[in-house]
Chain A
């Protein structure tokens, strides 16, 4: 469950979000709607700890985001940005494998469970045929 407490986000002098209190309900899909440039992406980035809050805080399961280690947070929370740079020369399979980053060892080696999960994800999204 994600919530915010008096969240304020600004770029330099410009405040984009001010004193926002928000609770996203658990187990539901929440859609955020608004005109261009009203701060939707800014909020999402703040919720994902990509943008720092200039005041207030974001809570994940009632714990402030700052309390999580990088990988620990990434295991519970992920963001798929609007514009994704697709790196050159990378297969679909490998792209899906990148999703296991928060779980794998320091040397980037996938174990059998990781490989299984990658395959499953590709089957469920019906992209297996494009794997290589």
Chain B
């Protein structure tokens, strides 16, 4: 049953993905698009150089964020946890923005490393606070949001003080796939393919961790090591996604929740489902972002927060363990 649902999700993703190739400032017919995909032609730039890489990026970044969210929620056992609410995305964003502001010609690997170290530092800070103060899940969410706010105002500050190009600024402020091309595609996909096996390795162990730390230890799992690996994986995914597309809010929170509604609590299905749903959400957001009022571009992050914020409120209404 779960396998069937996963397959249908995958098919839906493909369908919407192909559909998104039709959306944009210039209207193309199906035949034109297929012709261009197969043997380039006059629309080569629009389809092969513009819409196709963007689609692949949306899938990669969305999957990365969804996966990251499901791992964080699996480890911290907190329904309000996600890379953006914990300050990880903002940390990576701030580090990447600082690099771009002070060293605009930075090579890609440096950008990735900087984003990653920003994400890791932010994660370390919030985990240290969590370790010292043992907060309730809801308080942890609050602390994470506060740290996130602080780091985002750092991003605002850098961009306003150092007049970067407006579009670059918008990308970092709200996250967007605008102006991305083939150079970013291998980055996110390579990260995903390296990290995915770890995620599946974690699946069963995260399930067992649900029994409590003592019980998990007694079943041959070392909780501290497992938590470290899972969080590290989540931070890597979130930071690389941010380095590619800026801080896109709420996908890391929403995708795991939707996955849990559809697939229950088994991480074996939860992990791939979160990735698929994250990808689906970002494709839809990005397609709407460029299709609502072409040729104007909305940042995809704005659209995800328009959907995500009400869902967050819904979660709050349902959350019982005050």
The answer on direct contact between A and B (beta carbons under 8 Å) is yes
A residues near B, CB below 8 A?
45, 48-50, 70-75, 77-81, 83-90, 94-95, 98-99, 101-102, 104, 106-108
Let me know if B194 is at the binding interface, CB within 8 A: no
Q: Which residue of A lies closest to B268 (CB)?
A: A108
B residues near A, CB below 8 A?
200-201, 203-205, 207-208, 210-215, 217-222, 260, 264-266, 268
Cβ–Cβ contact B208 & A101, under 8 A: yes
Residues A74 and B207 in contact in the complex (CB < 8 Å), given A94-B266, A106-B201: no
Which of A88, A89, A94, A108 interacts with B205 by CB under 8 Å? A108
The interface residues of chain A, by DSSP majority, are classed as loop
Q: How many A-B residue pairs have CB under 8 A?
A: 82
Cβ–Cβ contact A102 & B219, under 8 A: yes
> B268: which A residues are within 8 A, CB to CB?
108
Residues A87 and B218 in contact in the complex (CB < 8 Å), given A106-B201, A107-B200, A108-B268: no
Cβ–Cβ contact A84 & B201, under 8 A: no
Residues A87 and B217 in contact in the complex (CB < 8 Å), given A94-B266, A108-B203, A108-B268: no
Interface centre among B208, B221, B222 (most CB of A within 10 A): B208
Residues A85 and B220 in contact in the complex (CB < 8 Å), given A79-B215, A90-B265, A101-B204: no
> A107: which B residues are within 8 A, CB to CB?
200-201, 203-204
Which of B201, B203, B205, B220 interacts with A74 by CB under 8 Å? B220
> B219: which A residues are within 8 A, CB to CB?
74, 78, 98-99, 101-102
CA distance A6 to B308 in the complex (A): 57
Q: Nearest Cβ distance between residue A85 and chain B, in whole angstroms?
A: 4
Cβ–Cβ contact A87 & B214, under 8 A: no
Q: Nearest Cβ distance between residue B213 and chain A, in whole angstroms?
A: 8
> A86: which B residues are within 8 A, CB to CB?
211
CA distance A95 to B266 in the complex (A): 11
Residues A78 and B218 in contact in the complex (CB < 8 Å), given A88-B265, A108-B203, A108-B268: yes
Which of A70, A88, A94, A99 interacts with B222 by CB under 8 Å? A70
Cβ–Cβ contact A49 & B217, under 8 A: yes
Cβ–Cβ contact A85 & B211, under 8 A: yes
CA distance A79 to B215 in the complex (A): 7
CA distance A78 to B213 in the complex (A): 13
Cβ–Cβ contact B214 & A45, under 8 A: yes
Knowing that A50-B213, A79-B214, A89-B265 touch, tell me 5 more A-B residue pairs with CB under 8 angstroms: A70-B221, A79-B217, A81-B218, A85-B211, A94-B266
Cβ–Cβ contact A98 & B207, under 8 A: yes
Cβ–Cβ contact B220 & A71, under 8 A: yes
CA distance A87 to B207 in the complex (A): 8
> A81: which B residues are within 8 A, CB to CB?
212, 214-215, 218
